[in-house]
């Protein structure tokens, strides 16, 4: 089974998160957060990778890191 290893410090524990942001001009005008991003943060050095994703992609990103 493959496991996560940080590209900066090689630590093998991480925290997954997500945030939403606005896209173009109209979404900024109406404060609509239509862009979703997934984060993977190393628990030792706090290096963070950010991936643009939708909800169905989040599971695929986590599977890539932990070999699921």
The structural domains of the chain, with segments of one domain joined by +, span 14-66
| Section 15-19 average pLDDT | 91
- Burial group, residue 16, by CB count within 10 angstroms (0-12, 13-18, 19+): middle
pLDDT for 44-65, tens place per residue?
A: 999 999 998 765 555 555 555 5
Q: Where are the beta strands (DSSP E) in 1-68?
A: 14-21, 35-42, 48-52
Single pTM value for the model: 0.62
Q: How many residues does the chain have?
A: 68
pLDDT: is 40 or 23 the higher one?
40
Q: How confident is the model at residue 36 (pLDDT cuts 50, 70, 90)?
A: confident
pLDDT at 12: 94
């Amino acid at each position: 089974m493959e496991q996560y290893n940080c590209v900066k410090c090689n630590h093998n524990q991480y925290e997954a998160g997500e945030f939403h942001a606005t896209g173009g001009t109209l979404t900024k005008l109406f404060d609509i957060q239509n862009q979703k991003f997934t984060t993977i943060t190393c628990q030792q050095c706090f290096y963070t990778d950010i991936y643009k994703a939708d909800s169905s992609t989040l599971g695929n990103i986590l599977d890539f890191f932990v070999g699921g």
